[in-house]
Amino acid sequence: MLVVFFLPSKGMTDIILMSQDNTSYGCIDCDQRAEQSICNAYGKYGSIYSDRSIWNKNGIGNINKKESPFKKGGLGLGLFNSQGNFEGYFVISDKDGSRYSEMLKSAWHDSKQSHAKSKAIFCRLIFGSDL
């Protein structure tokens, strides 16, 4: 059973990515320059080199990992709001119809399955501009 607790803090967002073992993989819709943002190129959740980034093709973003958002037919990561309520999954498979999953699926397809290019497209979709 997955139980998630969040303590509100400055910069806390509405949507957090979490694995089944309660590991956070950043926030989706917080300020794009926030340390927790998956769109912050210099943060641990947004850098394509960080182990905690979905954009790292050798980390959680590896398409062979069951929780990778990019594994077609995979489990994906959980989407939780700041109150800890489950909002669905973040994954490119058809198992979830969340708007974030749809944006990720579109970015993944448009980037021809490139993690770095998917990030640029996804973040542009979320924030309407590049960093």
Q: Residue 59 and residue 129: Cα distance in Å, rounded?
A: 26
Residues 6 or more apart in contact with residue 51 via CB below 8 angstroms: 59, 60
pLDDT tens track for 80-103: 998 999 999 999 987 766 889 999
pTM above 0.75, yes or no: yes
Question: Domain-by-domain residue ranges, the chain?
Answer: 16-124
Crossing angle of helices 99-110 and 115-127, rounded to 10°: 130
* pLDDT at 59 > cutoff 90: yes
- Identify whether the C-beta of residue 61 lies closer than 8 Å to the C-beta of residue 38: no
| Residues 79 and 89: beta-carbon distance below 8 Å | yes
Which residue, among 122, 129, 124, 119, has the nearest Cα to 41 in the 3D structure? 119
